[in-house]
Structure 1
Amino acid sequence: MSEPADRPKPSPVFHEKRTYRQRRLMDAARLAPILALLLWLLPLIWPQSGDARVSSAAALIYIFAVWAGVIVLTFGLSRALGSRMEDDPGSDP
């Protein structure tokens, strides 16, 4: 039996390298908030008493360092995604 002519062709299994990288960048942008949340929650499991106690100042420095890192990460991802979208305006996200 032959397939009807109006039926669309199946999409290829392998994507171009450019499309693959763009999709991975989009995946990274989707996971960035989850990573930030996990890194911000990490001080909650630090010891609060005893010899291995972490000071409040160190915890605050850590939180602000994570905050700055998330800003840099999302800035880089948005620039990379923006330049890829400008290069290929006809592509589907």
Structure 2
Amino acid sequence: MTDPTDRPGPPTVFHERRTYRRRRIMDAARVAPVLALLLWSLPLVWPQIGEGTVGSATALIYIFSVWAGIILLTWGLSRLLGGKADDPPDTDA
């Protein structure tokens, strides 16, 4: 068998659970604008003529629903990220 110290390359790094989750939330916050852009551009590919045409009222309801959903998503992400930082602040005065 191979001893873990005999493996080439850098050792495996394990992060604390809180740090790992905070980083994933930060990743989600970075992806949120891209998700918003994709969801808002989706009506551009809806059929404009023929069968299956989407009405403008339906498109507006979709756009405002996406807008409200993005507001809720960013609010939730900001609440999760707005908690206490991992490092305690310096109290030297």
Q: Same fold (TM over 0.5)?
A: yes
- Give distance in 1, aligned partners of 2:67 and 2:11: 40
Aligned to 2:40: 40
Q: Structure 2 unaligned runs (5+)?
A: 1-9
How far 1:89 sits from its partner (Å)?
3.8
Alpha-carbon deviations, 1:5-26, whole Å to 9, x = none? xxxxx89611011100000000
- Give distance in 2, aligned partners of 1:68 and 1:25: 20
- Give distance in 2, aligned partners of 1:11 and 1:80: 31
Aligned to 2:68: 68
Distance 1:18-1:11 versus aligned 2 partners, 3 A rule? farther
Within 5 Å, which residues of 2 pair with 1:1-93?
13-83=13-83, 86=84, 88-90=86-88
> Partner of 2:51: helix, strand, or coil?
coil
CA contact (8 A) 2:19 2:86 kept: no
Amino acid at match of 1:52: G
- Give distance in 1, aligned partners of 2:14 and 2:43: 42
Q: Please, what TM-score do these two structures have when normalized by structure 1?
A: 0.79
Q: Please, what TM-score do these two structures have when normalized by structure 2?
A: 0.79
Task: Tell me the C-alpha RMSD between the 2 structures.
Answer: 2.0
Greater than 2 Å deviation, 4+ residue runs: 87-91
Amino acid at match of 1:88: D
